DNA sequence: GCCAACGTTGGC
DNA sequence: GCCAACGTTGGC
């Protein structure tokens, strides 16, 4: 089973939004490195940390699970969408998405806290200038983050 | 293929 | 709002 961290701007889509919707597609990834991971490596059943970025309290806010693998992101074909890509066609889609299901909230683990934890030093997230919106998380990093959230005894 | 200019991300 | 870091674009 794989572990991931997905970034989202909570003003647009937060862990609360996901809880309400229960299951949601994860649209709008427009970065090739992130896309390639969504397309090639993210699998049904993988666990995902939901990270709130570009907001007042940045950090990991909850956990989701992947319920559908890689399919074309429909927003790339919609001219009214902010994610529209004129170079994409249904025959040759450029961007992909997966579906995720809400699992649970976590007490917010802030980016500042994560930067303090040596076990997380290798995460792209805590490195300067990081812009990756979908990133892999190792089992050790996953465990360290859940421990910070007070879930050290929970193995799922 | 190089690289400068430009646009975007994202923490603070 | 600022600005550093990074990704993308496009001329050559």
Query: Closest residue to B8 by CA to C1' distance?
Result: A131
Strand B and A133 CB separated by under 7 Å: yes
Residue-range domains of chain A with CATH: 3-148 (3.10.590.10)
Which stretches of chain A drop beneath a pLDDT of 70?
153-156
The pLDDT tens digits of the residues spanning A74-109 come to: 999 998 888 999 888 888 899 999 999 999 999 999
C-alpha distances in angstroms, A141 versus A87, A98, A121?
Answer: 37, 22, 9
Q: How long is the CA A8 to C1' C3 vector, in angstroms?
A: 22
Q: What predicted TM-score, i.e. pTM, was given to this entire model?
A: 0.94
User: Which of these, A8, A29, A28, A31, lies nearest to A81 by C-alpha position?
Assistant: A28
């Amino acid at each position: 089973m794989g572990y991931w961290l997905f970034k989202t701007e909570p003003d647009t889509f937060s862990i609360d939004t996901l809880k309400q919707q229960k299951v949601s597609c994860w649209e709008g990834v427009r970065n090739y490195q992130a896309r390639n991971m969504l397309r090639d490596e993210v699998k049904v059943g993988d666990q995902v940390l939901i990270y709130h970025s570009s907001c007042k309290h940045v950090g990991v806010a909850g956990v989701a699970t992947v319920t559908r693998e890689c399919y074309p992101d429909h927003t790339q074909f919609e001219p009214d969408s902010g994610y529209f890509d004129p170079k994409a066609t249904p025959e040759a889609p450029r961007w992909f998405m997966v579906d995720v299901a809400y699992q649970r909230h976590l007490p917010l683990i802030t980016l500042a806290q994560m930067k303090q934890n040596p076990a997380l030093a290798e995460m792209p997230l805590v490195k300067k200038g990081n812009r990756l919106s979908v990133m892999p998380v190792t089992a050790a990093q996953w465990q360290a983050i859940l421990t910070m959230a007070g879930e050290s005894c929970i193995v799922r």
